[in-house]
Structure 1
Amino acid sequence: MSLLVVNNLGKAYCSYSSEWQRIARWFYLPVKPQEEHWTLKHISFSIEPGEAIGIVGQNGAGKSTLLKMITGTLQPTEGSVQINGRIAAILELGMGFNPELTGRQNVHYAAGLMGFKAEQIEQAMPEIEAFAEIGEYFDEPVRTYSSGMQMRVAFSVATAFRPEILIVDEALSVGDSYFQHKSFNRIREFQEQGTTLLIVSHDRGSIQSLCNRALLLEHGSIIKDGAPEEVMDFYNAIIAEKENTKVQARQLEDGSVQTRSGTGEASIESVGLYNAKAEPIEFVSVGEPVSLRIITRINSDIPELVMGYMIKDRLGQPVFGTNTHHLGCKLESLRAGETLEYRFSFPANLGVGSYSIAVALHTTDIHISCNYEWCDLALVFNVINASKTPFVGLAWIPPTVECYR
């Protein structure tokens, strides 16, 4: 049985020529609104036990509205939400805390609204207080809290009891890095115990490290539902999209989906990885010197060209990236028909595993400006440990060691 089923969900905000018409609509009388604006329409998906779903999209796409309707704090205009389990949600900073009450009192209030009895809340209170780590402020009015302190208490009470479904909006972006790490560790612990996760975030790393599926919202509709790396690549292309930009996605032989976008004034002809003997390679030894060679073609006269690349791990998270703007090697006044070859040489100080390379042609320091072409999964290679001492992780950073007694 699915834990959550969203069926044809939609939300419209209406304006009427008079208050009487609005009241008549409350009683389902056939009154036509003066104006109708749909923030979400035809949203359908289901979530199975143990899944971790990331919801991404630009501001105004309808992400927060969707979560509010799932949790019941906002009523849909059409469609339905079926929930088969207990939900814990952090949708807005403070979870509706009363600013005049202390943190401890607000914990009682919030946990009570979640359905827990006073004895259960009292039993969990020491752990909630310890996890929040705000010291004596726990017994001070919430109006004296910083936004980060509110986030600490809100997250602590929402996760004091493991739910079947945990829903987190952008709230975790507030606060210090220490508590963010601590919060994500708790989320991972819940996942290991079977909790289903639904998270909204603009942080690509969070989505790809926590989730096994992602939904992309655009103009109130789901336009992509798939693997996090595939969805985030497509989202990245949409952000860079300009008036004449084309966004294309195609399935590769290994089943992965490659996303390309750009206006086309310059294009990527080939991408290859070579060893010190100038031989093309697919398997690289840890620390081996390699050369990334990228051949590009200029299709129209352009004033400037910057070439960038990004190495990603198997989950699509960035490992290292740079471009010719930062390296002081950008080119100017290029003519149609020219062919260029870039060579980036570096030691493969990477951990054992599979990696991909994304490449981009653009102007200035980021690809969002005049994105001529962006191509994810332009190259895939594997790193093996043929001669180094054993280690774990994404980077090879060999230390020297001294021991004193």
Structure 2
Amino acid sequence: MILLNVEGLGKAFRKYGSELHRFASWFGIPIKAKEEKWVLKNISFKICKGEAIGIIGQNGAGKSTLLKMITGTLQPTKGKVRVNGRIAAILELGMGFNPELTGRQNVRHSAGLMGFNSQQIDRAMASMEEFAEIGEYFDQPVRTYSSGMRVRVAFAVATAYRPEILIVDEALSVGDEYFKHKSFNRIREFQEQGTTLLIVSHDRGAIQSLCNRAILLEDGHIIKDGNPEAVFDFYNAIIAEKENSTVETKTLSNGKTQTSSGTGEAKVSKISLLNHMQEEVESVSVGDDVNLKITVKAHADIPTLILGYSIKDRLGQTIYGTNTALKNQPLLNISSGEVITYNIRFPINLGIGSYSIQTALVSSESHLENNYEWLDLAYLFNVININKEEFAGCAWIDPIIETNRK
């Protein structure tokens, strides 16, 4: 069942020569705008019941504008949005709150705008107040609230009743970690009950843990729609791309999409994982000492070379990452044709599962300055449990437990 259908959506912001010309344009009179800027062009996608979609992209890509048109707070210049179900949206910190009214009064007003009657609001008021957890401030003017408190109240009223579609903008990036965890738990509960989720966030971990699909916007266009891991990898490659670099994707034998980018002035020629016997392996046991061996070849003279790497889980979430700049081990004055071998030794204190290695060859701590090569899914390996007691989770953090009874 299709809950949301976006067809050929476009939005242009226009500047007219006078207010009279703007007014005339509202009635369909053909008045040419003095200036016209399209922030979204020909956006089309469908969302089915139960799907969880993440919208990602750089600042100015059109993400928030798209959500505003879907929720009806902004009218499109072209195209249509068809919604089959009730939408609850958290687009901005204030959610239209009146700063002179109390949190309780704003909740009553906002819930009324969402279509709920007084009796329904009265029944849910106590649970909304409890979920927001702002104490006596609930009956104080909103102008006295911090941004985090406004988010708490806004989220409480938006999720007091389970919607068919829940839309969340970057609002949850504000506030304390406790409430973020609480909010994401409620979102997951709604998902289990069949709510469709549409979320905008720069938090890769949040989108990959909540969503089964991601849409990448760039300059007002959809340039990637698919698996969140592959879309985020492509997004990172675009950020790293410079004038002389390219972004390439290819499908691996396991069906995953590998993304690479860079100028090619230095490239990883081989990666292997060695056990304590220095034997190349594809599977290692929890807690084993290993050596990640990375061989790099320079294809040009490079003043500074830094290797970065990350270990990612099967969802593409980073478990650990570092680089030789952070370790105070950059290499200087690399000559074209030179081969460098990195031996990176560490214990595999990871849980059972499949993992990947992502590498970056750059000239500074950031890959935004000189991106020689960025390679996702550069190496795949498995962690199994041979000699440790059973445990849950993605990390092996073996405790010593002391107990005292009196």
**Normalization by structure 2: what TM-score?**
0.98
Partner of residue 98, structure 1: 98
Question: What amino acid sits opposite 1:105 in the alignment?
Answer: Q
Question: What amino acid sits opposite 1:153 in the alignment?
Answer: V
Tell me how far apart the structure 2 counterparts of residues 393 and 368 of structure 1 sit (CA, whole Å): 33
Q: How does 1:354-369 map to 2 (within 5 A)?
A: 354-369=354-369
Tell me how far apart the structure 2 counterparts of residues 346 and 369 of structure 1 sit (CA, whole Å): 29
Deviations 1:32-74 (A, max 9, x none): 2222110001000000000000000000000000000000000
Tell me how far apart the structure 2 counterparts of residues 18 and 201 of structure 1 sit (CA, whole Å): 38
Tell me how far apart the structure 1 counterparts of residues 156 and 94 of structure 2 sit (CA, whole Å): 11
Q: How does 1:215-364 map to 2 (within 5 A)?
A: 215-364=215-364
Partner of residue 32, structure 1: 32
2:2 aligns to what SS in structure 1?
coil
Is there any run of 5+ residues in structure 2 with no aligned partner, and where?
none
1:372 aligns to what SS in structure 2?
strand
Deviations 1:77-100 (A, max 9, x none): 000000000000000001000000
Tell me how far apart the structure 2 counterparts of residues 158 and 20 of structure 1 sit (CA, whole Å): 38
Tell me how far apart the structure 1 counterparts of residues 143 and 18 of structure 2 sit (CA, whole Å): 39
| Aligned-residue offset at 1:260 | 0.4
Tell me how far apart the structure 1 counterparts of residues 322 and 168 of structure 2 sit (CA, whole Å): 32
| Aligned-residue offset at 1:308 | 1.1
Tell me how far apart the structure 2 counterparts of residues 199 and 304 of structure 1 sit (CA, whole Å): 39
Is there any run of 5+ residues in structure 1 with no aligned partner, and where?
none
Deviations 1:240-284 (A, max 9, x none): 122222111111111110010112211111111111222211111
Tell me how far apart the structure 1 counterparts of residues 156 and 201 of structure 2 sit (CA, whole Å): 19
Q: How does 1:133-144 map to 2 (within 5 A)?
A: 133-144=133-144
Question: What amino acid sits opposite 2:323 in the alignment?
Answer: N
2:36 aligns to what SS in structure 1?
strand
Tell me how far apart the structure 2 counterparts of residues 276 and 329 of structure 1 sit (CA, whole Å): 24
| Aligned-residue offset at 1:22 | 2.1
| Aligned-residue offset at 1:19 | 3.1
Deviates more, 1:279-288 or 1:107-116: 279-288
| Aligned-residue offset at 1:366 | 2.3
| Aligned-residue offset at 1:367 | 2.0
| Aligned-residue offset at 1:371 | 1.1
RMSD value, Cα: 0.9
| Aligned-residue offset at 1:186 | 0.4
Percent same amino acid among aligned pairs?
A: 66
Partner of residue 7, structure 1: 7
Tell me how far apart the structure 2 counterparts of residues 132 and 14 of structure 1 sit (CA, whole Å): 40
**Normalization by structure 1: what TM-score?**
0.99
Partner of residue 203, structure 1: 203
Question: What amino acid sits opposite 2:203 in the alignment?
Answer: D
Deviates more, 1:140-149 or 1:320-329: 320-329
| Aligned-residue offset at 1:21 | 2.7
Tell me how far apart the structure 1 counterparts of residues 284 and 141 of structure 2 sit (CA, whole Å): 58
Tell me how far apart the structure 2 counterparts of residues 17 and 131 of structure 1 sit (CA, whole Å): 49
Tell me how far apart the structure 2 counterparts of residues 174 and 246 of structure 1 sit (CA, whole Å): 35
Q: How many residue pairs end up in the alignment?
A: 405
Q: How does 1:89-128 map to 2 (within 5 A)?
A: 89-128=89-128
2:294 aligns to what SS in structure 1?
strand
| Aligned-residue offset at 1:210 | 0.5
Partner of residue 401, structure 1: 401
Tell me how far apart the structure 2 counterparts of residues 287 and 369 of structure 1 sit (CA, whole Å): 36
